[in-house]
Structure 1
């Protein structure tokens, strides 16, 4: 006979109902108690019967995640953090790489408790219909759905990067980023332009490189283009981690010292920035905070009474706005060693 919830209750020293609530993701259980219960369940080899639990609780304990691409390092880092946060709450993540509405329909058939949706930066104009009766939360403000979302503050993050460079008396600043057609990607470019204009810094069009995607090769090519111009910028701000890696490699191959000859700041506040050949300064909300806020809001939305408190009613979807942070490292002059 397999391990039961009662076995876990005896092992941890709590009531049967507390274990049941913790493994069903109830917000009524304290975080430290939930963590002890989840760890005990793993240690004892507890295997939940999703079908049986669904019959009793009307919930499956499963969260569907619509994944736009497996190629972006920052998105993968965020996915891992979200997985950890869901585990803490006794929830199981189901990942789908189907496109948009196909994934939503699949999760509807599987009767998941909630759905997390990442932006579709390649086809943002394709309208998506929210699932019937299942809370859906978007990471980033969606272009075509009035649903709850987590605002990552991308425009403010790029403005923060410009302001940090300006405070170091850096005036000649380039921007390299994927424009795409989505509002979320466009916000980064707008943040750059707005802060440059507000600080009366020169907007050199030759130093604004719009890439065709957010991958490493596009960053490498963009840096080579900047270096081939008649005059080089003092600093480069990038729209994402993979672009940053490509830019850094191109600068190093060309003998450009970072930050001695050119400073570098990248969007995507993930630990990977520190692991590059030159640890790169970053802007944005830390990935762990994004995950914690996202799962926390989703959990509140799983309970209708909590969703109402967050403004989750027609015309005013619930949302969380995250403030970006600056993580200073060796790639900017004030952090050079």
Structure 2
């Protein structure tokens, strides 16, 4: 069991100083308090006084804001978040925005009126948002964690996913395997998650001397139907010289695979195909999918842990705002590429 002495040792201070810092006493400098809070967070230490106060004031509800849960990636993330929250005796209130700002605002207002103990916001699919709504969460000191990346102008704890790095690594791997002509099927480029994946793709291409034409990046719905309709239109009417298709997520890649099968274009013999996320079905698709793995359970664990620490230490808002955790990505090679 972690003690105050363990926290003090990690922070490099005396146990008495660590205790003062955790209880927000003014006799401790902000730098020292920050070191102690970070040590407590790293060790998962919960002071008895904070734990008692937390129980007395808690509604036991955590608000989760997501654009949708049809994509298996989102449903898996929601499942693991719910599992982690249950371990900490919290219930989950899930708000689905469908990518619409008015719905997003309504959901967040509901969270505020319900006096939720904290909020987790999956920022990756947000295209438009009202900053004033986020500021309202901050103003009311409702602990909030952003999942998947930050939002410009919003200073909150973040669990970031190395999306650009993952896309870069995948593109570089495919170039090394001999692929030269890339078609990138994306969702709305304004969405954080898609923009960062495009950035990684373009960086790898340019570093290896391959041009990226505007027509090589196609916006469509980031789902099975979007992948199917785009691939069918591109390869049915024309005979483009693409030798590999990169999809912004696996869900879209399944639709592409269906279209190519109907057009009698073999994967990977005639064209390579890769996705992103490594959802559960990626390994058992008609042609097992090369993709980029996001460790979804790790993402959920880190997000809930950071929110929990933020709830415990929410009076230390200045220190809380700089908290950040990162989840790395990994290229997974399967039979959809040579």
Alignment partner of 1:290: what SS?
helix
Structure 2 equivalent of residue 325 of structure 1: 330
Aligned residue number for residue 154 of structure 2: 145
Match of 1:225 in 2: 233
8 Å CA contact 2:180, 2:210 repeated in 1: yes
TM alignment of 1:198-213, pairs within 5 A: 198-211=207-220, 213=221
Aligned partners of 1:178 and 1:71: how far apart in 2? 15
**The residue matched to 2:92 in structure 1 has which SS?**
strand
1:312 to 316, 320, 324: 320
The answer to whether the aligner puts 1:95 opposite 2:99 as a matched pair is: no
**Cα gap change, 1:150 to 1:120, in 2 (>3 Å):** closer
Deviation at 1:204, TM superposition (A): 4.2
Structure 2 counterpart of 1:126: 130
Report the equivalent of 1:63: 62
CA, structure 1 residues 214+245, in 2 after alignment: closer, same or farther (shift >3 Å)?
Answer: same
- Residue 114 of structure 1 pairs with residue 123 of structure 2: no
CA distance in 2 between counterparts of 1:230 and 1:68 reads: 35
SS of residue in 1 equivalent to 2:155 = coil
Q: Secondary structure at the match of 2:134?
A: coil
**1:122, distance to aligned residue in structure 2 (A):** 5.7
Q: CA deviation at 1:305?
A: 7.3
CA contact (8 A) 1:63 1:112 kept: yes
CA distance in structure 2 between the partners assigned to 1:125 and 1:62 by the alignment: 23
Matching residue of 2:143 = 135
Query: Is the contact made by 1:152 and 1:284 (CA closer than 8 Å) also made in structure 2?
Result: no
**Per-residue CA distance 1:7-52 (angstroms, 9 max, x = gap):** xxxxxxxxxxxxxxxxxxx9458xxxxxxxxxxxxxxxxxxxxxxx
State the distance in 2 between where 1:234 and 1:55 align.
Answer: 57
TM-score, scaled relative to structure 1:
0.75
Query: Relative to 1, partners in 2 of residues 1:67 and 1:183: Cα closer, same or farther, differing over 3 Å?
Result: closer
TM-aligned CA deviation for residue 179 of structure 1:
2.6
Aligned to 1:49: none
2-side partners of 1:305 and 1:129: how far apart? 16
- Cα distance between partner residues in 1 of 2:297 and 2:337: 23
Residue number among 89, 104, 108 corresponding to 1:104 in the alignment: 108
Where does structure 1 lack aligned partners over 5 or more consecutive residues? 1-25, 30-52
- Tell me by how many angstroms 1:247 deviates: 0.7
Alignment partner of 1:157 is 2:166: yes
Distance 1:321 1:269 in 2: 18
Deviations 1:68-106 (A, max 9, x none): 223333211211121122223332211123522222221
Q: Secondary structure at the match of 1:267?
A: coil
1:143 to partner: Cα distance: 4.0
Provide closer, same or farther for how the CA distance between residues 216 and 202 of structure 1 changes in structure 2, counting only shifts above 3 A: same
Provide the secondary structure at the position in 1 that maps to 2:320: coil
Counterpart selection for 1:274 from 264, 283, 295: 283
What is the aligned residue count? 280
For residue 205 of structure 1, report the CA deviation from its aligned partner.
3.9
In 2: Cα distance, 1:109 partner to 1:54 partner: 21
Following superposition, the deviation at residue 245 of structure 1 comes to 1.2
Supply the RMSD in Å over aligned alpha carbons: 2.6
Contact 1:269 1:287 in 2 (8 A): no
How many angstroms does 1:248 deviate by?
Answer: 1.0
1:67-78 alignment, distance < 5 Å: 67-78=66-77
CA contact (8 A) 1:161 1:237 kept: no
Deviation (angstroms), 1:331: 1.2
- Work out whether residues 226 and 232 of structure 1, in 8 Å CA contact, stay in contact via their aligned partners in 2: no
